Amino acid sequence: MKSLRRIYAIFIKELRQLRRDRMTFGMVVMIPFIQLMLFGYAINTNIRNIPAALVDQSRTALSRAVAQTVSATQVVKFTAQYLDVQQAEAALADGLVRAVLILPQDLGSRLLRHPTALGKNSAADGQTGRPVGQWLVDGSDTMISGAIKSLRSMPLSEVMGQPVPSSPPTFEATLLYNPEQRTAVNTVPGIVAIILTMTMIMFTSAAIVRESERGNMEMLITTPVRPIELMLGKIIPYMFIGAVQVTIILGLGHLIFKVPIIGSIIQLAGATFLFITASLTLGLVISTIAKNQLQSMQMTIFILLPSVLLSGFMFPFEGMPKPAQHIAEILPATHFIRLIRGVVLRDTQLINMPYDVCCLITLITFGLTVASLRFKKRLD
């Protein structure tokens, strides 16, 4: 009986302590809620409105009808139109679009000979069954390439007003950057972003809190160190740790999984530096909010979970609803995954991806400013 009373006393104590610890109580409620919303609402493997480009070499009413028929599937959304294939391939390499539809000059004659338009399985002409167009697809994302490949055999009966028999493919699909559709090619660069997000934020989120818990904060108050100097001094050592982690992941990925590293090492180093700095500054902001290391770890998990699910690492960014995409744009991992996949797999220059570069620079500036101001406020 006395043992039960003691257990009951400890039980009541823990409940009261949990009630006072609002951060922990909030995490207990918010993490299941966020997981439910992410998996039930934001995560969508039924990809729609993939940004695509159109190269219409025919420029006829038939070519416009074919493009409208493709758009009607809602699998792709033509966001750009180019005059030649070279411009479209450059846009594909820079990540501006994920696929390119090329309609040839002889589109009309191909349509007349194709079974999907004729309503027959053969014709006297030896060119019968030739694809009426070609897709160039960013094959680095297997889900995106799978969605585009589903359009290869789409019927064009609405264009010609004929019934649809079984037929050869309507479109030819060429997969670039990952023609074998190996998952590791897409996954390994993404793992770099997730590992760095976890370790960089985790290391620095406890930095200021640890100084307070060890009693070092009083010593720092008496020194002439300014808040911004303290922030920079905290994050610089971890930059080297991040560089080591990137080298290990990409090196082993190249040796074991044969992941190609096509881009420049200098470009890769620049993108990595921006992302590591952004993650470290985010960790510093957390460290100025958390009251102890347990809270800093909880907040790290709070950031890590959306980074895994919304950044494009596990699910294509294009398949998410607009509200989820807006949330993902706030996360540094979203921009780094685009940058590292562009550099490593497509040999893209950072100057050709200015949006993601500017977003990371903005996050760095904002994070350092907030962390410095909050640190100064706490000292006051």
Q: Is residue 146 part of a domain?
A: yes
CA–CA distances in Å: residue 131 to residues 46, 239, 311: 26, 51, 35
Q: Is residue 274 part of a domain?
A: yes
* 80 vs 223, residue with greater confidence: 80
Confidence of residue 310 (pLDDT cuts 50, 70, 90): confident
Q: Is residue 118 part of a domain?
A: yes
Among 128, 156, 176, the domain boundary falls at 176
Task: Note whether 159 and 240 are same-domain residues.
Answer: no
Q: Is residue 302 part of a domain?
A: yes
Pairing of strands 133-138, 99-103: antiparallel
Q: What is the pLDDT of residue 124?
A: 42
For the chain, percent of residues with pLDDT exceeding 90: 37
Task: Flag whether the pTM goes above 0.85.
Answer: no
Task: Note whether 305 and 355 are same-domain residues.
Answer: yes
Indicate the SS3 state at residue 52: strand
Task: Note whether 168 and 243 are same-domain residues.
Answer: no
Task: Note whether 232 and 148 are same-domain residues.
Answer: no
In angstroms, the first-to-last Cα distance of the chain is 51
Task: Note whether 169 and 212 are same-domain residues.
Answer: no
Q: Is residue 18 part of a domain?
A: no
Q: Is residue 372 part of a domain?
A: yes
Task: Note whether 283 and 196 are same-domain residues.
Answer: yes
Task: Note whether 227 and 90 are same-domain residues.
Answer: no
Task: Note whether 138 and 223 are same-domain residues.
Answer: no
Q: What is the pLDDT of residue 162?
A: 53
> Which range, 39-48, 291-300, 301-310, is most confident?
301-310
Residue with tokens 């909030």: 26
Among 1-5, 11-15, 27-31, 188-192, the range scoring the smallest mean pLDDT is 27-31
Among 153, 176, 199, the domain boundary falls at 176
Q: Are 300 and 202 in contact (CB under 8 A)?
A: yes
pLDDT digit string (tens) for 56-114?
Answer: 999 998 889 889 989 988 899 999 999 899 999 999 999 899 999 999 998 888 777 76
Contacts of 111 (CB under 8 A, 6+ apart): 62, 66, 117, 132, 156, 159, 160
Among 93-107, 206-220, 226-240, 363-377, the range scoring the smallest mean pLDDT is 206-220
Q: What is the mean pLDDT of residues 336-349?
A: 94
- Return d(Cα 45, Cα 312) in angstroms, integer: 11
Whether pLDDT at 273 is above 90? yes
Whether pLDDT at 37 is above 80? no
Q: Could you tell me the CATH number of the domain that includes residue 88?
A: 3.40.1710
Q: What is the mean pLDDT of residues 143-158?
A: 81
pLDDT digit string (tens) for 288-304?
Answer: 888 778 788 878 888 88
At residue 6, what is the residue type? R
Among 132, 158, 176, the domain boundary falls at 176
Task: Note whether 121 and 246 are same-domain residues.
Answer: no
Task: Note whether 144 and 198 are same-domain residues.
Answer: no
pLDDT digit string (tens) for 160-202?
Answer: 555 444 456 788 999 999 888 898 998 999 999 999 998 999 8
- Domain total for the chain? 2
Task: Note whether 89 and 219 are same-domain residues.
Answer: no
Nearest to 371 by CA among 274, 236, 239, 228: 228
Q: What is the pLDDT of residue 323?
A: 83
Whether pLDDT at 355 is above 90? yes
Q: Is residue 22 part of a domain?
A: no
Task: Note whether 192 and 311 are same-domain residues.
Answer: yes
Confidence of residue 121 (pLDDT cuts 50, 70, 90): very low
| Structural domain boundaries enclosing 81 | 50-176
Q: Is residue 39 part of a domain?
A: no
Q: What is the pLDDT of residue 380?
A: 47
